[in-house]
Structure 1
Amino acid sequence: MLLLRNTGRFVENELSCLDVLHTHGEPVSSVSRASEKFSTSGLSCNTPVKTARGTVLARDLRAGDLVKTKDHGFQPLRWIGRSRHTASDAALVRVLNEDHNRSQMLMTADHLVLFHSAHAELLFGKSEVLCPARGLAVSNRLELEISATPTMCHLLFDGFELIHAGDFWVESLVPDMARIKTVAPNFASEIIAALPRLAHDQSIANYLQDRIVLDEREAGVLVQLEQDRC
C-alpha cells in the first residue's frame, strides 16, 4: 500500500497523472544503485560528451580529461571502464535527435537523467529531479532499444557528477565496489588504483547526491504532463 504525497490518502491502484506516489509517504533523496552485472549505469561509446577540449565521443575519453559537470564546473575523469552489452541483457534507451531520427547515443535503462520541469516543482517541491532513462522513454526524445549490442562506457569521478552528454545531463558512475569486486575484479583493481580511497566502504559517501530520484512510473507521469501541456 502506498501513501499519496501531501494528501494523506492510501491507494492500491497504479500511479495516475493526478497523484505521485512515494513509498511510505517519504520523499526519496537517493536510491541504492546495486547492480545486477557490472553497473546499472552506462553510456554507449558513441555518446558525445562535453569536455574542456570540446565535444568528445565517450570511447575517446581518457583518464585526466576535464569533463563538463552541472554542479562543479570541469572535473577530471578518474577512470573509464568499458563493458559489452549483449542481446540477453535488458533493453537500452536510445536518444532521438531533435528531428526524431535515431542517434548513436544509448543509455542503460536505469541510467539517471536530469529532468527539469515546473510540474516537478509542483509535485515534488523541486524543479530538477533525476529519472531513470526507461521512465523517460515515452517522451519524444527517447525510446527503448532492444536489439543494439554496443560497448558501454562507465565514467568515474571523485564524486557523484552530472555530465553533459548529448543534449542531456546524466549521472556519472556510482561505484558499488562490493559488487564490482565480485563481477569484475579487474575493474575493481583499476578503480582502486585510480582512487585508492574506494578501497574503503565509507568512501561511497562521496557519491551520494541530494536531488530527488524518481521511479519509472513517476518519471512517466512527468513526461505525460509535459506532453499534455504542449
Structure 2
Amino acid sequence: MAYEVTVLSVSAPIPTGGSASGPWGYQAGQTIEFTDPTLHRIEIQDDDPNFDSQFYQRDDQQTVAEEVTIGNLYIPAGTRLSTYLASVIADEDGNQYFVMFPRQAEPGSFGAELGSKTELLILPYNGGQAPHEVPFDPVAKTYTMVRVLNRPADMSVPYGVPCFAGGTVIDTQLGPRRIEALQPGDMIRTRDNGMRWLCWIGSVELTCDQLQQRPNLRPIRIRAGALAPGIPAQDLTVSPQHRMLIRSSLCARLFGEVEMLVAAKHLLELPGIEVVQPDTGIRYWHMLFDGHEVVHSNGAWSESLFTGPQALKSISPAARREILELFPELAAPGFTPRGARRFATGREGRKLARHAGRALIRQD
C-alpha cells in the first residue's frame, strides 16, 4: 500500500543534544527554530498500517517507492527505512508530530543515518492516538519540543484504521439498514453468534483535501461480484485496513485455514477492487461489539472493529475513552483481544489475490 510522508529540509544541521538523542535533543518545552525550511513528500510502500522500527529486517518493512533527492540527500527506490532516534514536537494547538532522521534499515542493526541532519521525516502523531490531519507548516506555525523517543523496539506510528464507508447496508434483526442509521442496542446479524447487541458506533469524516494529502486513507471499492458471484451484492466501500472474510479451498491449501480475514488493500490485484478518490470526501464508520464479529455488509461478510492496540491507537481520543468506559478490561496489562478469524498478513493476502483463478468465497 502506498503512503505519503512529509519530509522537512533545512539549510543548517538540526541539533540533537547528544549522540543518543532525537532531533532537538532534550530541549523539552523550548521553541524550535527552522532554518530556511522547505517541505517535500515522498511515497512509501508498506505492508502494514504503521511506520515501524525493526532491528531485524523484514520483507514487509516500509520502503521508498521512487528515487528522490531532497536537498543534498539522495534516496534510491527500494531503500528500506527504519528509525532509531526520534522526537515528538507540537504546534501551538497541541497537534503532535513524530519527527526522525531518515535511516536505512540494515539486518541485525539499527541502520545507517541518511543525510547530514538537515532532513526529517514527519508523521502526524498526537501521542500515539489517532493520526490527525493537520498539515505540518514550519512557516505559519510555531512548534515546541515535547520529548525524545529512543526506544526503537516500541516505536510504531499508525497510518490508518479499519472501517466502513457511509451508505453501507448492514443486516439487522429488522432487516437491511444503512450503517449511519444504526444505534447502540440494535441487534446485528453476525456470522458466528447470531443476533448480537451493537455496543458502540462512531464515525470520522475526511475531506477531499485530506484524502489527497493522505492517500493511505483513500477508500477501496469492492465492486459487486468481485469476491464471488453475487458477493458483494452491491458495490462495497471500505477503508484500506478493513478486513473481508475469505473462504476458499485455495486459502486452505496455501495457509491451512478455510477462512481468513484479509485487508481490502491486499486484494487490490483482483479485478473489480480499486482505490477511489471521492470528490466530496468520505465518512468512515466503526461498529463495536463485546467481541470481534463478522457482519453482513452489502451482501459480503466482513469484520467489526477489532480492539487490538493498533486499532485503538487509530481512533480519536474521545472515541477511545468511550470504548474503554464500556470495556475497561481492554486497558488491563497483558490483555489480548481475540480475532474472529486469523488475520492474513500482507504477503498472504496478496498471494491469495494473485492466485485466485476462481471465486475467493466458497458458497456451501
Task: Report TM bin, short chain.
Answer: 0.7 to 0.9
Report SS of the residue matched to 1:173: coil
Measured after TM superposition, the shift of residue 214 of structure 1 is 1.7
Measured after TM superposition, the shift of residue 143 of structure 1 is 1.6
Contact kept, 8 Å, 1:35 with 1:179, in 2: the verdict is: no
Larger mean Cα displacement after TM superposition, 143-152 or 153-162: 143-152
Q: What letter matches 1:65 in structure 2? A: D
Query: Partners of 2:359 and 2:314 in 1: how far apart?
Result: 46
Larger mean Cα displacement after TM superposition, 122-131 or 211-220: 211-220
Q: What letter matches 2:203 in structure 1? A: R
State the match for 1:138 in structure 2: 269
CA distances 1:115-147 after superposition (whole Å, capped 9, x unpaired): 111111111111111111011122234222234
Alignment of 1:95-106 (within 5 A): 95-98=222-225, 105-106=236-237
Q: What letter matches 2:292 in structure 1? A: F
> Which of 239, 254, 260 is the equivalent residue of 1:123?
254
Q: What letter matches 2:324 in structure 1? A: I
State the match for 2:76 in structure 1: none
TM-score by length of 1: 0.72
Measured after TM superposition, the shift of residue 189 of structure 1 is 2.6
Matched, 1:157 2:289: yes
> Which of 288, 298, 306 is the equivalent residue of 1:166?
298
Contact kept, 8 Å, 2:306 with 2:339, in 1: the verdict is: no
Matched, 1:92 2:213: no
State the match for 1:63 in structure 2: 184
CA distances 1:183-207 after superposition (whole Å, capped 9, x unpaired): 622112322333344453455x3x3
State the match for 2:346 in structure 1: 216
Q: What letter matches 2:316 in structure 1? A: A
Structure with more of its chain in helix, by fraction? 1
Contact kept, 8 Å, 1:47 with 1:104, in 2: the verdict is: no
CA distances 1:164-215 after superposition (whole Å, capped 9, x unpaired): 1112211111224687479622112322333344453455x3x312633222
Q: What letter matches 2:178 in structure 1? A: L
Matched, 1:47 2:168: yes
> Which of 178, 190, 193 is the equivalent residue of 1:72?
193
Contact kept, 8 Å, 1:136 with 1:219, in 2: the verdict is: yes
Q: What letter matches 1:93 in structure 2? A: I
| Aligned structure 1 segments of 4 or more residues deviating by more than 4 angstroms | 176-183
How many pairs were matched up? Answer: 196
Measured after TM superposition, the shift of residue 35 of structure 1 is 7.4
Contact kept, 8 Å, 2:166 with 2:180, in 1: the verdict is: yes
Q: CA RMSD in A?
A: 3.3
Give the unaligned 5+ runs of structure 2.
Answer: 1-57, 61-155
State the match for 2:158 in structure 1: 36
Measured after TM superposition, the shift of residue 221 of structure 1 is 2.2
Change (3 A) 1:115 1:104: closer
Report SS of the residue matched to 1:115: strand
Measured after TM superposition, the shift of residue 111 of structure 1 is 1.1
Matched, 1:184 2:311: no
Matched, 1:226 2:356: yes
